[in-house]
Chain A
Amino acid sequence: MTSMEAYLSQVENQWCPGCPNFGILTALKRALVELELAPHEVCLVSGIGQAAKLPHYMKCNVFNGLHGRPIPAAIGIHLANPELTTIVTSGDGCIYGEGGNHFLHALRRNPDITVLIHDNQIYALTKGQGSPTTRRGERTRLQFDGVQLDPSQMLATAIVHGCTFVARGFAGDLDGLALLIRRAITHRGLSVVDIIQPCITWGTHPVDWYQERAIPIPQDHDPTDRDRAVALALETPDTFPVGVLYETPPRPTFAASYRTRVGAGALARLDRVPRTVLEAYLARFTVNGSRTEKRTKELR
């Protein structure tokens, strides 16, 4: 049995007091405890930003890499050791902005990992510039006349690209968020959860403003209804329908055929390729028969 205490980290937290990131941290821990996963069975992968510091604030394996690059790193980790539950946890600037191309292609690859986007619609660590999800017209510390671009619609993009689990969470709803994260982790294939996380320091609206707009998805929503799911996703940024937008039966996951060949364990535990196989490859280079000269020099 795992407990919340097992995930307790001694690392000093650098988030602003009262930051909704604390809610995401608690919900994530709760989901892992409910799934009875121990810290060593979990690998959290993040990029750079305030959200990306989350892995330091709970006990587990941590890959805190470069800005924009947590998804490819997580794909590599998952490929090498699929026994781990690999979860990306980073901000909207990191995943949708700097790493947007990786997000798009992860949707195509469908690795069995979970991607949590802390979507605060602002660049917080760099002190208040517009992010890919900031609304048009909102004034920031860089877009002084208001953002001149429309926000990206990455959840709709995820659905259109065939992602089989697409959800929206709200950092202020611990119970709902823990359940969403649990479902996302359990789902086979890539799971995307965009979590509305109001920024209490640089955000363009107070927490209440988000709270009012984070409305649950209607109970009668059929999560296999792609058109309706896209329509719900596109309601952003006026409202944030919270819940599972889209969920369909899993489709083939990344590296499935390779895994059929080598088994499901960590690649580090595989036996080496037999020397005879490799020597047979080298022998093919010699045209027409065996070599006449023997090796004489010391090989380095």
Chain B
Amino acid sequence: MDRSLFITGAAGEGIQTVGDIVARAFLSHGYATFTTQEYESRIRGGKNSYRLRVSDEPRNAPRHDADVLLALNPDARSHYAPSLRPGGFLLSSKEEGGDLVIPFADLAVRHGGGRIYANAVAAGALCASVGLPLAVLEHTLRETFADKGDEVARANAAAAGAGFARAVERLGDRRPAELPERSERYAFASAHEAIPIAAAAAGCRFISAYPMSPSTGIITAFARHADLGVFAEQAEDEIAAINMAIGASAAGARAMTATSGGGFALMVESLSLAGMIETPIVIVLAQRPGPATGLPTRTAQEDLLFAIHAGHGEFPRAVLAPSDPQDTLCKTIRAFDLADRFQTPVILLTDQFLADAHFSLAWLEMPDEIPGPHLADPNTMSPYQRYARTEDGLSPRLYFGQSEHLVCLDSDEHTAAGHITEDLVSVRPVMVEKRLEKGRRLRREIASPVESAVEDAELILVGWGSTKGAIEEAASSLREGGRKTGTLHFSEVWPLPDFSFRSGTEYVGVEGNATGQFARLLEAEYGVKFERKIVRSDGLPLDAATILKELS
């Protein structure tokens, strides 16, 4: 089973409410549910969709076609109707073509007592069109509105029942069979929802950020949940945000910031600062399509080369690009650990898809071991020099006020003691080498890419970050069709680890940008050649159908 449901309408019409309720209803019935939201950068109006993919086994990748399309207004109907598959159901309130006519507002007033219950009518009709029992939806509605009082719960249930009954009536003998309950219970989360919890687990104590889609949810979660123990400060701009975080880190608090491409551009000078003063910092860079303001509410993988190359001068940094909520949880903890161990910035490269899409996962769990801070013991050294030369380039790190040892951090080229120097003979070369050595050692820590079904593969799809689900779906579909296809996925994209590409196999790069940035990077770093690149850069998440179409 694999059903794609589109709930479409204007911003402010409640498509998110309908979508959330229906998603929870399917999950509570034991079905994996994957949702994406696609919306315009405005507060009211426009054309927006909430997409659910319901299946018996998790299918955490987007579909851009619909088996069921519910349109809350005529504009949405005409805009999204081309997405409906042949034989699919179109639920709308107006008599048109072969629509299943559900007068949302009329039924809401008649059965619920007000137009506000139109969303419940819509949810009821949607469930009927997929075969979800009404009782399951009623249960979800009761839970959702438990704190709103009996009357609201009753009205919602009545409205949902009316929508359900009307859809059943319209469907007639096309009514789908009732879905049996399954025992599976999935964790339903977005990747960004895992970040604050993982950061708190890693000992993060401070986030400063400037609101910017699609990163804003991260600082919001810290602010809302005080028991995560993280102080959240809305900065006046992204430059302040990262400098506050670097300051906090220098004074001993694990610290982070979160932004998108434009905000990251403002942070770049300070990224270099963190590299120079060797102060740990974690930066979430949640990508959206550019250039400039671009498409603020859409998704892209366009900032990979920017993240890798950002910052003047030469200093080490790691760029991690997780693929799903569990991976994001682990990579967030890892980002803090790498930043701390290597005393350098780490970028967690996500995107709007990872911010908003909700995955169904068999588990969402904390790793057993969560590394603690990597601070030096002040009692073991005298005198103390913040940038003391060591074999591995890593100097013992103390924070401001940790002990009586003085800590001197300087953005100028500096001596071992942390003071300005222009000694080009005995200091500068040593410090350059120190930073390079840290980078070499960091590289050895980077995880290998994950290979899947590559042994007999004639074709290997290569991707990174959030497009993993779509690429795997395309590969298994190709294999089912008789084409021996494997996948190669990187979720740690800089520095690149040692890896040998197979000879005699066709590698195809697949990613969410127009120029094939990752393929170009791999070509430069490994000497591999990509004859084909499959790219998507329209702002929608990469899907299996796009890949299959290119390879057909």
Chain A residues packing against B (C-beta within 8 Å):
11, 14, 38-41, 43, 45, 48, 53, 55-56, 59-66, 68-69, 72-81, 83-84, 101-102, 104-105, 255, 258, 261-262, 266-270, 272-273, 275, 277-279, 281-282, 285-295, 299-300
Contacts and interface: CB of A to CB of B under 8 A. Distances in A.
Helix, strand, loop or mixed for chain A's interface? mixed
Contacts of B6: none
Given A63-B277, A69-B270, 9 more contacts: A40-B401, A62-B408, A63-B250, A66-B273, A73-B246, A102-B240, A255-B231, A255-B233, A269-B252
B373 interface: yes
Given A53-B420, A76-B208, A285-B364, A81 B185 contact: no
Contacts of A277: 227-228
Interface stretch (B70-78, B148-156, B170-178, B186-194): B186-194
B526 interface: no
Nearest to A65: B411
B153 to A, nearest CB: 17
B28 A261 contact: no
Interface string B241-261: 101111111111101000000
Given A72-B243, A102-B236, A258-B231, A80 B248 contact: yes
B205 interface: yes
B406 A77 contact: no
Interface residues of B, number: 78
A72 to B, nearest CB: 4
B366 A272 contact: no
B110 interface: no
Contacts of B252: 80-81, 266-269
Contacts of A39: 406
B228 A268 contact: no
Contact of A75 (B183, B186, B247, B368): B247
Contacts, number: 239
Contacts of B269: 66
B27 interface: yes
Interface of B: 24, 27-28, 183-189, 193, 197, 200-201, 203, 205-206, 208, 225-229, 231, 233, 235-237, 239-241, 243-253, 255, 269-270, 273, 277, 326, 330, 334, 362-368, 372-373, 375, 399-412, 418-420, 447
Given A48-B411, A73-B246, A255-B231, A299 B206 contact: no
Given A73-B246, A278-B197, A291-B185, A62 B407 contact: yes
A292 B184 contact: yes
B257 to A, nearest CB: 10
Contacts of A294: 363
Contact of B420 (A64, A104, A258, A290): A64
A287 B227 contact: no
Contacts of A75: 244, 247
A102 B240 CA distance: 7
Given A282-B187, A291-B187, A266 B244 contact: no
A262 B229 contact: yes
Nearest to B190: A285
A62 B409 contact: yes
Given A289-B185, A299-B330, A65 B277 contact: yes
Contacts of B241: 72
Contacts of A105: 235-236, 240
Given A270-B205, A292-B185, A84 B27 contact: no
B227 A300 contact: no
Contacts of B249: 76, 80
B408 A61 contact: yes
Given A63-B250, A105-B236, A278-B197, A286 B188 contact: yes
A67 to B, nearest CB: 9
A267 B400 CA distance: 12
A293 B273 CA distance: 45
A79 B231 contact: yes
Given A74-B247, A295-B365, A290 B185 contact: yes
Nearest to A62: B408
A287 B400 contact: no
11 contacts: A14-B420, A62-B408, A64-B409, A64-B410, A72-B244, A79-B231, A81-B251, A270-B205, A282-B364, A287-B186, A288-B27
B377 to A, nearest CB: 13
Contacts of B236: 101-102, 104-105
A84 B401 CA distance: 7
Contacts of A79: 206, 231, 233, 244, 247-248, 251, 253
A172 B246 CA distance: 35
Contact of A273 (B200, B270, B408): B200
Select the residue from B28, B184, B248, B401 with max chain A CB neighbours within 10 A: B401
B401 A76 contact: no
